[in-house]
């Protein structure tokens, strides 16, 4: 088995750097059979963004503004692509067609049509491993929830609540950026940015929405343009999705909340599964805690377990320590490298077909809000 996977990074901004930092601390993983990502090529229009990589990673031998140069290089095996949404379609299709493995950022296309083009490219290249970034399910508390749900410990599901909330947009003086512009970020707005994070576990558990009723809000409609004026801010700030799901025990609602304007929330990712036999919850706000409730008749009490650092892929970090965002990124990357190398993992990275479902759900949500009605996902073509 290969000991390393040579990577190119296309888009060297916020998330490109997160990957680089995860690759730089691969020795934190206790397992030695997982091939190490080695960054050999970088692409960004911004020279300073590339310089972060060339200054910190002596392995970088290609630094370019044109990603096609990286796709033509024989000594690059895989690509991490973290570009603005408007560029996903072309870049992802080109990467997949080049035959290189790819971890692409969400939402995997600015809209449904872009996602369909990416899915079509994947179909013609079954030899390529393609996954989408989603790190939060790798928190140990979330993994414990997944394990217990998969064991069927919930019994009949009452409801599921999954959310990803931020508050940074409460600040009306925050200048507009590409993530607040429909033409670059997409019409989904907050759903495109945050939705897949909240959908990864529900979709993987097989909770597939049949219908959705959506309430979407635009709260701050203009922002400083950074040049002394104001610019329209037309993306959705907050979205509440009420989905109808079904499993062997019957129907239940799945609530998906994605908010950029949620007082007090910072990177607040959470999931709660309420069942007749047991309920479970985890929130990245309290990363050490896994909560469970087993009913004893009339009264119930939530129990908090301090779960510590017990990640899916073991690390040298003592289990008595805390787990955080950058640890979840490392776990996601280790999982992706396992999947590329054919090493089995209990819980895999977000799959392309899950992004396709997300696009159908979010397109249905746009229709639902516009027409003020519940929309069947089967209506979306």
Ligand X SMILES: NC(=O)c1ccc[n+]([C@@H]2O[C@H](COP(=O)([O-])OP(=O)(O)OC[C@H]3O[C@@H](n4cnc5c(N)ncnc54)[C@H](O)[C@@H]3O)[C@@H](O)[C@H]2O)c1
Distance separating alpha carbons of residues 164 and 267, to the nearest angstrom: 7
Q: Judged by CB under 6 A, does residue 189 bind ligand X?
A: no
Angstrom CA distances, 179 to 97, 114, 308, stand at 27, 17, 34
Q: Nearest to ligand X by Cβ — which residue?
A: 13
Kindly indicate which of the ranges 76-84, 274-282, 341-349, 356-364 contains the residues binding ligand X, using the contact rule CB under 6 A.
76-84
Footprint of ligand X on 295-324 (CB under 6 A): none
Footprint of ligand X on 258-287 (CB under 6 A): none
Q: Which lies closer to ligand X via its Cβ, residue 87 or residue 234?
A: 87
Q: Are 138 and 331 in contact (CB under 8 A)?
A: yes
Q: Which lies closer to ligand X via its Cβ, residue 3 or residue 68?
A: 68
Angstrom CA distances, 378 to 212, 239, 364, stand at 11, 21, 9
Q: Judged by CB under 6 A, does residue 85 bind ligand X?
A: yes
Distance separating alpha carbons of residues 116 and 120, to the nearest angstrom: 6
Nearest Cα to 186, choosing from 103, 105, 112? Answer: 112
Cis peptide before 208 (omega within 30 of 0): no
Q: Judged by CB under 6 A, does residue 11 bind ligand X?
A: yes
CA angle 349, 350, 352 (to 5 degrees): 125
Number of shown-chain residues binding ligand X (CB under 6 A): 21
Q: Which lies closer to ligand X via its Cβ, residue 105 or residue 354?
A: 105
DSSP 297-366: TTB---EEEE--S--SS-BSS-TTS---HHHHHHHHHHHHHHHHHT---SSPPBPHHHHHHHHHHHHHHH
Kindly indicate which of the ranges 32-40, 68-76, 77-85, 229-237 contains the residues binding ligand X, using the contact rule CB under 6 A.
77-85
Q: Judged by CB under 6 A, does residue 83 bind ligand X?
A: yes
Q: Judged by CB under 6 A, does residue 195 bind ligand X?
A: no
- In the set 14, 248, 316, 320, which binds ligand X (CB under 6 A)? 14
Q: Is 164 helix (H, G, I), strand (E, B) or coil?
A: strand
Q: Which lies closer to ligand X via its Cβ, residue 178 or residue 302?
A: 178
Kindly indicate which of the ranges 30-38, 42-50, 69-77, 257-265 contains the residues binding ligand X, using the contact rule CB under 6 A.
42-50
Footprint of ligand X on 104-123 (CB under 6 A): 105-106
- Contacting residues toward ligand X, per CB under 6 A: 11-16, 43-46, 49, 82-85, 87, 105-106, 133, 135, 193
């Amino acid at each position: 088995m290969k000991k390393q996977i040579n990577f190119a990074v296309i888009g060297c901004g916020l998330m490109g750097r997160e990957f680089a930092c995860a690759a730089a601390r691969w020795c934190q993983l206790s397992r030695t059979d997982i091939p190490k990502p080695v960054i050999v090529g970088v692409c960004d229009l911004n020279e300073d963004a590339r310089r972060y990589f060339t200054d910190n990673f002596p392995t970088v031998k290609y630094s370019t503004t044109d990603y096609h140069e990286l796709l033509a290089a024989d000594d690059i095996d895989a690509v991490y692509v973290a570009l603005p949404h408007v560029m996903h379609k072309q870049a992802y299709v080109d990467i997949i067609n080049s035959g290189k493995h790819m971890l692409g950022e969400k939402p995997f296309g600015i809209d449904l049509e872009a996602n369909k083009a990416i899915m079509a490219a994947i179909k013609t290249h079954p030899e390529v491993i393609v996954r989408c970034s989603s790190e939060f399910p790798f928190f140990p508390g979330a993994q414990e929830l997944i394990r217990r749900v998969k064991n069927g410990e919930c019994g009949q599901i009452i409801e599921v609540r999954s959310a990803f909330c931020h508050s940074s947009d409460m600040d009306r003086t925050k200048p507009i950026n590409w993530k607040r512009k429909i033409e670059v970020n997409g019409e989904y707005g907050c759903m495109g940015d945050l939705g897949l994070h909240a959908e990864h576990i529900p979709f993987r558990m097989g909770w597939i929405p049949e219908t959705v009723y959506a309430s979407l809000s635009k709260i701050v409609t203009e922002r400083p343009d950074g040049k002394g004026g104001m610019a329209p801010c037309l993306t959705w700030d907050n979205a509440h999705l009420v989905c109808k799901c079904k499993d062997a025990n019957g129907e239940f609602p799945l609530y998906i909340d994605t908010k950029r304007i949620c007082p007090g929330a910072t990177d607040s990712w959470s999931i709660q599964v309420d069942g007749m036999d047991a309920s479970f919850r985890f929130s990245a706000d309290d990363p050490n805690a896994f909560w469970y409730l087993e009913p004893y008749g009339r009264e119930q009490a939530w129990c908090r377990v301090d779960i510590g650092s017990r990640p899916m892929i073991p690390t040298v970090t003592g289990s008595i320590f805390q787990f955080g965002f950058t640890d979840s990124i490392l776990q996601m990357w280790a999982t992706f490298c396992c999947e590329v190398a054919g090493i089995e993992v209990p819980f895999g990275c977000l799959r392309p077909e899950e992004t396709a479902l997300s696009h159908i759900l979010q397109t249905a949500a746009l229709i639902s809000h516009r027409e003020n009605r519940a929309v069947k996902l089967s209506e979306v073509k």
